[in-house]
Structure 1
């Protein structure tokens, strides 16, 4: 039986490049790995996790889904389980923004023109991940806001272009989420966190000014 994906993993699955190999890094119980493998859209599906426990669960998930022969499970840290050029899409779902970019930094072959598409669902600090991607030469191909279990997530797809961008705070806060019908709800959620974030920012700085403008705009709305 095929596992059911929540909204964030369903959105991630839709951003995988069709017809090319894919890796689900930090696959946990293997739900996304199983759905990708069962779809028959990809010549190779790899599920990987750092811990043996989740990987054993992922093996069971693949077995129940009847697609154990269509996916390969690997035990290892981050992208060390992959060879450069082995896959066309890498999914990194459910880890923090910082863990996401640390995983990318440890695999320099990802940051190259023609490199893999990265599909990311950061558990926290969406704004920081957008900033990191732009400042390290990645362009956002998609940035979709979704709600799962009462929380907002941003499901991002990025590809390396080498073009470094220094984004404004507002760009990092909302990304491309305004292109989606759910963008309004996501923006309200991001804005609600601003007063708390502002407390740690010194007055008179450019960041403080940007934050104050956004907070003022929200109170007028």
Structure 2
């Protein structure tokens, strides 16, 4: 039986490049790995995790889904389980923004034009990950707001171009989520966190002015 994906992982699956190998890094119980393998759309599907326990459960998931022969499971840290040009898409789901970029920084081959598409679902600090991606030469292919289990997530897909961008705070806060039907709900959720954030920002700073402008815009609508 094929596992059911939540809204986050379903959105991530839609962003994987078809017809090219794909790696699900930090695959946990292997649900996404199994769905990708069962689809038959990818010549190779790799599921990887740092711990043996989740990897053993991922193997069971693949077996129950009837696609154990169409996926390869690897034990290892981050992208160390992959070689350059081995996959066309890499999924990094459920880790913090900082862990996401630290994983990428350990694999220099990711920073290559026409390199792999990176699909991310940061568990925290969406704004920080957006800033890091722009400042390190990545272009967004998608930035989709998704609600799952009562929480808002951003499912991001980016590809390296080498062209850097210095974003505003508002760009980092909302990204490209405004083009989606769920964009308003995500924006409201992001704005709700601003008053508390503002308390730690010095008056008169550029960041304070940006936050104040966003909060003022919200009250005037």
TM (normalized to structure 2)? 0.99
Structure 2 partner of 1:191? 191
Structure 2 partner of 1:147? 147
Distance 1:199 1:116 in 2: 39
Distance 1:106 1:43 in 2: 26
Structure 1 partner of 2:42? 42
**Which residues of 2 match residues 167-206 of structure 1 at below 5 A?**
167-206=167-206
CA deviation profile, 1:155-184 (whole Å, cap 9, x unmatched) = 000000000100000000000000100001
Alignment coverage as a number of residue pairs: 221
Distance 1:8 1:85 in 2: 26
CA offset at residue 219 of structure 1? 2.0
**Which residues of 2 match residues 62-73 of structure 1 at below 5 A?**
62-73=62-73
Distance 1:106 1:66 in 2: 34
CA deviation profile, 1:169-216 (whole Å, cap 9, x unmatched) = 000000000010000100000000000111111111111100001111
Structure 2 partner of 1:80? 80
**Which residues of 2 match residues 127-166 of structure 1 at below 5 A?**
127-166=127-166
Structure 2 partner of 1:15? 15
Per the alignment, in what secondary structure is the counterpart of residue 118 of structure 1? Answer: strand
CA offset at residue 77 of structure 1? 0.1
Per the alignment, in what secondary structure is the counterpart of residue 189 of structure 1? Answer: helix
Structure 2 partner of 1:210? 210
CA deviation profile, 1:64-87 (whole Å, cap 9, x unmatched) = 000000000000000000001000
CA deviation profile, 1:43-97 (whole Å, cap 9, x unmatched) = 0000000000000000000000000000000000000000010000000000011
Structure 2 partner of 1:94? 94
Distance 1:112 1:86 in 2: 13
Which ranges of structure 1 fall in alignment gaps of 5 or more residues? none
Tell me how large the CA RMSD over aligned residues is: 0.5
CA deviation profile, 1:86-131 (whole Å, cap 9, x unmatched) = 0000000000111000000000000111110000000110000000
Structure 2 partner of 1:107? 107
Per the alignment, in what secondary structure is the counterpart of residue 17 of structure 1? Answer: coil
- Flag as ranges the 4+ runs of structure 1 deviating above 3 A: none
CA offset at residue 220 of structure 1? 2.2
Which ranges of structure 2 fall in alignment gaps of 5 or more residues? none
